Structure 1
Amino acid sequence: MNHRSLSPAAPPARQPTDGPAHGTFATGPADAHVALRERLLGNGTPLTELTGRPAPGPAAGPSEALHAEVSEQLWSRGLAAIQLDEPLSDDRFTALGDFLGSAMPERDPAVAPYVQREVILNLRSEHGRTDDVSLQPFAANYLSLHTESSGAPLDRQPRYIVLMCLAPGAAAQGARTVLVPMREVAGQLSPRALEVLSRTRYRDRPGVPTIARRDGERWVFSFRDFLADELHWSHEGPDAGGPPVGDALRELLAAMYTPAHMRWVQWRRGLLVVIDNTYFFHGRTSGSATPEARLRHLKRLRVV
């Protein structure tokens, strides 16, 4: 899935007589976020590195201290990063998922060769650059900024993404995970853009939340940068006759790719990172297709 911005030749939003407005968004080459994205995800913009706190004990020791440390970090900042002496065993890894909630089965046939125990996805950089979207998590391509399962109903969107490094690959060539706080993105958006996005959702996706929504005092987003693909949207509100959805989406994308508050993860063996899907956008920089870079191997759980 990916994005282009509305060009002057794009069709105008349609106004139904008794329902939401429908339209299509596509990224144009002159959109502000395009150059930002290429520099950032192409490793052209150095970012502050996220480092893991030392583990509260050996990876083979009791789970309680590790679980408590993960819980405390998630509570305080929506993100946990812990440097283990060794990666967790599959039993300990799935036990962490059980502590956080319920791990989601990986049922996509395209990823079946990479799945263990139904819920562990092995992210290995086995392919060079590819246009096959299903293979891109296992390739040298960058992955655009997104929230996980943004096109699914809320009860089928993971709350946590758990990543653990078994092998980083070549440090200078391996892909880095990029993290962008939603709080900082929301702070860059105009009140008008937030209002529009809070009434806009992906079209023809029953139960999908709006692109922006309030959770207490903070804004939460369900959104993916679609790169060159079209985003079909629907919008409900008093301005349904011609909502400036394209402008709001461009503003959102530019804020997502502004590097001031981004951090990236330089993976090291044993580094464990847990991302709250309601606090951060995440993505991945491009990696090298060299044999050394292809040694990169992470394990992932998605937890509801």
Structure 2
Amino acid sequence: MEHRTSLSPVRPTVPNAGDGPAHGAFLADAADPHVPLRERLLGNGIPPADVTGRPRPDLASGPSDTLHEEVSEQLWSRGLAAIQLDEPLPNDRFTALGAFLGTAMPERDPAVAPYVEEEVILNLRSEHARTDDVALQPFAGNYLSLHTESSGAPVERQPRYIVLMCLAPGDASQGARTVLVPMREVARRLAPETLAVLSRTRYRDRPGVPTIARQVGDRWVFSLRDFLADELQWSYEGPEEDATAVGDALRELLAAMYAPEHAQGLQWRRGLLVVIDNTYFFHGRTSGSATPEARLRHLKRLRVV
């Protein structure tokens, strides 16, 4: 995928006293540290450590309560559940898992309507070649940059869980892999001053959106997607003189997100069921190969609030 870059990041503009928060925009530069890290991680240059599902073939046809208990146990211990079933769940049991976790979000975007079942199940099929059309990228061979789901929405409209189930892995050796990066490891790589700046910075003109970093109990939670070649417009709610540090803080955060040491990759197999806590992990996807077999990749997704 081709990425546009700027010669230099857009500098913040700081309003006069009383006019509201400082604001500005960030645009990635080719010289930014995270850019080559991203290309290596998501472009299949550095295979991330494997995440394997706990083998539980009995749960596909056994009592739903037993499956739900297994998912709860894994989510509670690490913010991630990965279970290898012998066969994918039928739609009624898949949506029942969503109902157990919370409320499944309807998929109302007209661009994805052909891929939606029962209003809440999105069929992720790799049917398209690489494309610059953002709406089609989840169904194409592009990599998907690291992000948290619905990062530009208020917390109550962000899904807490992303539920994924593999019906067909496509090209087992070269197919796209889902990449997970623990937020706790990202936070550990950031200077305290950087976290302080990010905890006062949020997307601009998005009412109710949380700050890019926020503390929940004793851990840091992030709401951000890597905007790639697009501009990230931000506002800063802190001392005006500190607003000039926002660009550097975002660079530090992106570099920490793409550091390869803590990235984990899901090698999809038929029947693999994964539940990701959106407050524990960034997630993305590597590039898929262009082979006809790779285009057979098929996952089902629920987003649960």
Q: Same fold (TM over 0.5)?
A: yes
Tell me the SS of whatever aligns to 2:60: coil
Q: Which amino acid aligns with 1:123?
A: L
Q: Which amino acid aligns with 2:208?
A: G
8 Å contact 1:79–1:275 — kept in the other structure? yes
Tell me the SS of whatever aligns to 1:244: helix
Equivalent residue number for residue 197 of structure 1: 198
8 Å contact 2:123–2:300 — kept in the other structure? yes
Separation in 1, partners of 2:274, 2:169 = 14
What is the deviation of 1:15? 2.5
Work out the number of aligned pairs and report it: 303
Equivalent residue number for residue 105 of structure 1: 106
What is the deviation of 1:54? 1.3
Change (3 A) 1:287 1:8: closer
Equivalent residue number for residue 273 of structure 1: 274
Separation in 2, partners of 1:24, 1:170 = 39
What is the deviation of 1:5? 8.1
8 Å contact 1:6–1:24 — kept in the other structure? no
Alignment map for 1:1-304 (pairs within 5 Å): 7-8=7-8, 10-18=10-18, 19-55=20-56, 57-239=58-240, 242-304=243-305
What is the deviation of 1:90? 0.1
Q: Which amino acid aligns with 1:39?
A: R
What is the deviation of 1:13? 2.6
Separation in 2, partners of 1:41, 1:163 = 19
| Unaligned ranges ≥5, structure 1 | none
Separation in 2, partners of 1:42, 1:216 = 35
Q: Which amino acid aligns with 1:216?
A: G
Q: Which amino acid aligns with 1:164?
A: M
Separation in 2, partners of 1:197, 1:47 = 27
What is the deviation of 1:288? 1.2
What is the deviation of 1:240? 5.1
8 Å contact 1:78–1:275 — kept in the other structure? yes
Separation in 2, partners of 1:90, 1:178 = 25
Change (3 A) 1:93 1:171: same
Tell me the SS of whatever aligns to 1:82: strand
Scaled by the length of structure 1, what TM-score is found?
0.96
Separation in 2, partners of 1:130, 1:16 = 42
Separation in 2, partners of 1:104, 1:217 = 28
What is the deviation of 1:40? 0.5
Q: Which amino acid aligns with 1:13?
A: T
Separation in 1, partners of 2:262, 2:11 = 35
Aligned CA-pair RMSD: 1.6
What is the deviation of 1:59? 0.7
Q: Percent identity?
A: 77
Separation in 1, partners of 2:163, 2:177 = 15
8 Å contact 1:56–1:66 — kept in the other structure? no
What is the deviation of 1:56? 6.5
Change (3 A) 1:158 1:75: same
Separation in 2, partners of 1:12, 1:232 = 10
Separation in 2, partners of 1:200, 1:277 = 19
What is the deviation of 1:126? 0.2
| Unaligned ranges ≥5, structure 2 | none
